[in-house]
Amino acid sequence: MRAPIAPIALLLMTAAAAPARAEGNRHELWIGGSARALRSPSANALTDSNLGGTSLGYAHDLGIGLVPGSAIWLEAGLVTGAADGTMFQQLATEIATLDLTAGLRARYALHRLITASARIDLGAQRIRLDIDDHAGTSASDHSWGPIASAGAALDVFAKASAPFGFGVRIEVGYVLAPGVALDPHRRVPDDMILLPMQDFNIGKLDVGGPSFAASFVGQF
Q: Could you give all domains of the chain from N- to C-terminal order, each with its CATH number?
A: 31-212 (2.40.160)
pLDDT of residue 202: 75
| CA separation, residue 201 to residues 39, 40, 175 (Å) | 20, 17, 25
Could you tell me what percentage of the chain is helix, strand and coil, using 3-state DSSP and rounding each to the nearest 5?
Answer: 10, 60, 30
Which H helix or E strand runs over 14? helix 2-17
d(CA 40, CA 131): 19
Please list, in sequence order, all residues whose beta carbon lies within 8 angstroms of the beta carbon of residue 25, skipping any fewer than 6 positions away: 61, 160, 161, 162, 163, 164, 165, 219, 220
CA 81 to chain centre: 11
- pTM here? 0.81
pLDDT tens digits, one per residue of 4-31? 444 444 334 433 333 334 468 999 999 9
Extract the residue ranges of the chain whose pLDDT is less than 70.
1-23, 188-201
54 in Cβ contact with 82 (< 8 Å): no
Which residue, among 205, 194, 203, 201, has the nearest Cα to 94 in the 3D structure? 205
